[in-house]
Amino acid sequence: MKNKAVILLSGGLDSATTLAIAQAQNFQCYALSFNYSQRHKIEIMAAKKIAADNHVSEHKILDIDLTQIGGSALTDSSIDVPDYPTQGIPTTYVPARNTIFLSFALAYAETLSASDIFIGVNAVDYSGYPDCRPEYIKAFQNLAKLATRASVEEENIVIHTPLINMSKAEIIKKALELDAKLESTISCYQPDDSGRACGVCDSCQLRRNGFKNAGIEDPTQYVSR
Amino acid sequence: MKNKAVILLSGGLDSATTLAIAQAQNFQCYALSFNYSQRHKIEIMAAKKIAADNHVSEHKILDIDLTQIGGSALTDSSIDVPDYPTQGIPTTYVPARNTIFLSFALAYAETLSASDIFIGVNAVDYSGYPDCRPEYIKAFQNLAKLATRASVEEENIVIHTPLINMSKAEIIKKALELDAKLESTISCYQPDDSGRACGVCDSCQLRRNGFKNAGIEDPTQYVSR
C-alpha cells in the first residue's frame, strides 16, 4: 500500500513539479490549495486542472480569506504588484503565508494519517520571502514533530522540499523529465481574465528566465514580451 | 508609547485571564478570535464581550472553517463530545489548531508591527492536547524567529504563555486579582443555546475543579450539577 502525502498545490510551476516528484516517489497524493482571496485567484483553476490530470486521491481547496489580514500586494488591492526587480523583500510577500499553509497541511495530514507533506519552496531563483528559506523549513519540521496527535504517539511528520536547492532552470528540466504539464501552470501574480501572464512581475520574470536558462521554449502566453 | 501585542482570545477563562495579564504588563492589546465553525460557536459572543469590556485596540474575528478538515468532536458534528475523564488525547482535540491559530497571529502581528503574541495555553490542568505542551511552544517560538519579514530585519517576535505552568485554581485566582470578569467567559464545548454549560465535558470539569480548588464560588450556570 502506498504511503499518503499532502501536496501543497498553488497551480504554479513549482508546485506542479513537486506533485510530479511526489508521484514519482510512489506516494498516494492528496492535493491542498487555498482560496485566500489572492489577486491571482485564477491560479486555483490551474491547480484544479493539474490535480485532475494527475488523478490525485483528493483535491481540497480551503477558503481562508487573507484580505482580513492584508499587508501584501496579493491580498490588498490598494498595494500594486511591483515590476521586477525590486529591492529587499517585495510587497508581494504575504505575511506568514507558508506558516499558515503548512499549518493547514499538518491538520489535513493528521486527519488522513499521512506522515508526509510536500511543499515546492525554492531558495535559489526566488523572491527572497523569509518563509522559503531552508532554516525556516527546518524550524517548521521541528515544530511538526511536536504539534500533532501523531507526535505524542511518536510518529513523525516529514516536510519534503524537493526543489529547495534547485535553480528555476533545473526545476523546469525536472518537470519535463517527469512529464509535468507546465503549460497548465500559472505563475503570474496579475494575469488577465483569460489567464495571460503579465510578463513583468517577479514571478513572471523568474519563470521566463528559468525557461531561457534551461534552453526550453516557454509555453506561457505573456501580455508583455 | 505602549508596545502592541496580539492576544489569542477564545472567550474562555484562560484567554480572558491572558488578556488581563497582557494589559497589566502595559501592552496595547489586539485581540484575535476565530470562527472555525466550532460546535461551541457561542464562545465568540463571549470573546466579543470580553474584548469590548477590556477596550482592546481592535478585535479581529477570522473565518476559517475547520469543518473542511474535521477530525474532531468540535469540528465534526458526527463525533460526540465525551464525558470527562477520558483515556489519552480526547476527541475534542482539533488537529493542529494551535499551529493554525498561532500562524494567523504571526501574520496579524506582522501587519501591525507587533513583536509580542500572547496565548493562554496551559500544561497543568489541561486535556493533554499536544499543542499545549511547553516543548511545542518552544518550537513555535523558534519558528517565529524565522517566519516573517521581521525575522530578516533581525527583529524578534516573542510568544508569551503566562499560564503554561499554572494550575486552573491559580489561573482563577490570578484572574480575580486582575479583575477579569470570569462570569463573561465560556469554557464548555457544548453549551446550550442560552450559553449554559453542560458540566460534564473535560473543559467544564477542569473549570469546575479549578473554582473548587481555589475555594472560590463558580459563577458558571451548569445544566448538570
**CB pair distance less than 8 Å for A149 and B89:** yes
Residue of B nearest to A100 (CA): B103
**CB pair distance less than 8 Å for A60 and B66:** no
- Facing A99 at nearest CB: one of B131, B147, B149: B147
**CB pair distance less than 8 Å for A69 and B96:** no
Phi-psi region of B136 (alpha: psi -120 to 50; beta: other; left: phi over 0): alpha
**CB pair distance less than 8 Å for B69 and A108:** yes
Q: What's the pLDDT score for residue A55?
A: 97
**CB pair distance less than 8 Å for A148 and B108:** no
Which residues does chain A have within 8 Å of residue B32's beta carbon, measured at their own beta carbons? none
Mapping DSSP to helix (H, G, I), strand (E, B) and coil, where does residue B4 land? Answer: strand
3-state SS string over B33-98?
EEECCCCCCCHHHHHHHHHHHCCCCEEEEEEECHHHCCCCCCCCCCCCCCECCCCCCCCCCCCCHH
* Shortest Cα–Cα distance, A224 to chain B (Å): 30
Cα B70 from Cα B78, distance rounded (Å)? 10
- Facing B107 at nearest CB: one of A100, A108, A149: A100
List per-residue pLDDT tens for chain B, 225 residues long: 899 999 999 999 999 999 999 999 999 999 999 999 999 999 999 999 999 999 999 999 999 999 999 999 999 999 999 988 788 899 999 999 999 999 999 999 999 999 999 999 999 988 899 999 999 999 999 999 999 998 888 888 999 999 999 999 999 999 999 999 999 999 999 999 888 999 999 999 999 999 999 999 999 999 976
Indicate the Cα dihedral angle B94, B100, B101, B104, nearest 10°: -160
Residue B122: burial class (beta carbons within 10 Å; 0-12, 13-18, 19+): buried
Domains of chain A: 4-214 (3.40.50.620)
- Facing A136 at nearest CB: one of B108, B136, B146: B146
* Shortest Cα–Cα distance, B146 to chain A (Å): 5
- Is residue A125 within 8 Å of residue A206, measured between CB atoms? yes
Nearest to A12 by CA among A100, A132, A114: A132
Distance of CA B222 to CAs A51, A151, B181, B189, B205, Å?
49, 35, 18, 12, 11
For the segment A190-208, the average pLDDT, to the nearest whole number, is 93
Q: Residue A150: CB partners within 8 Å, gap ≥ 6?
A: A110, A113, A115, A156, A157
Which residues does chain A have within 8 Å of residue B110's beta carbon, measured at their own beta carbons? 71, 95-96
Return the half-sphere exposure (C-beta side, CA atoms, 13 A cut-off) of residue B58: 14
Which residues does chain A have within 8 Å of residue B104's beta carbon, measured at their own beta carbons? 69, 96, 100
Nearest to A79 by CA among A153, A173, A197, A190: A190
Q: What's the pLDDT score for residue B212?
A: 97
Mutate to test the interface with B, among A33, A103, A132, A138 (most CBs of B within 10 A): A103
Return the half-sphere exposure (C-beta side, CA atoms, 13 A cut-off) of residue B225: 3
Residue of A nearest to B35 (CA): A64
- Is residue B213 within 8 Å of residue B124, measured between CB atoms? no
What is the number of other CB atoms lying within 10 angstroms of the CB of residue B78?
A: 6
Q: What's the pLDDT score for residue A152?
A: 86
- Is residue A202 within 8 Å of residue A82, measured between CB atoms? yes
Cα B64 from Cα B101, distance rounded (Å)? 10
Tell which wins on pLDDT, B42 or A224: B42
**CB pair distance less than 8 Å for A107 and B100:** yes
* Shortest Cα–Cα distance, A11 to chain B (Å): 20
Cα A78 from Cα A98, distance rounded (Å)? 22
* Shortest Cα–Cα distance, A21 to chain B (Å): 25
Q: What's the pLDDT score for residue A213?
A: 97
The string of pLDDT tens digits covering residues B42-97 is 999 999 999 999 999 999 999 999 999 999 999 999 999 998 878 889 999 999 99
**Phi, psi dihedral angles at B6 (to 5 degrees):** -95, 130
For the segment A187-201, the average pLDDT, to the nearest whole number, is 93
Q: What cell was used for A124?
A: 535559489
- Facing A110 at nearest CB: one of B95, B108, B151: B95
Q: DSSP secondary-structure letter at B131?
A: G
The string of pLDDT tens digits covering residues A122-181 is 999 888 999 999 999 999 999 999 999 988 888 889 999 999 999 999 999 999 999 999
* Shortest Cα–Cα distance, B6 to chain A (Å): 13
Answer yes or no: is pLDDT of A23 > 80: yes
Q: What's the pLDDT score for residue B154?
A: 80
Tell which wins on pLDDT, A87 or B8: B8
- Is residue A46 within 8 Å of residue A82, measured between CB atoms? no
**Phi, psi dihedral angles at B25 (to 5 degrees):** -85, 10
Tell which wins on pLDDT, B2 or A86: B2
